[in-house]
Amino acid sequence: MEIRLTLRPGMSGTKKLLARYGESLVCVRYRYDRATGRRVKTAELIVEDVAWAPR
């Protein structure tokens, strides 16, 4: 699959996902598969945000 477009929250094409996922939305990607002739829209989300300290 080839990624042709990566959109940040608030850009055109992300409004519905931003309304659904809010601040958890990191980006939206459009992937294209030449073999099957399909486009796939993916959403990258933050599922956990915790403090971390190195050893």
DSSP 31: E
Residue 28: beta bridge partners?
Answer: 7, 43
- One-letter amino acid for residue 39 of the chain: R
pTM above 0.85, yes or no: no
CB neighbours (10 Å) of residue 25? Answer: 20
| Residue 39 pLDDT level (bands cut at 50, 70, 90) | very high
What would the pLDDT profile of 40-54 be if each residue is shown by its tens digit?
999 999 999 999 999
3-state secondary structure of 19: helix
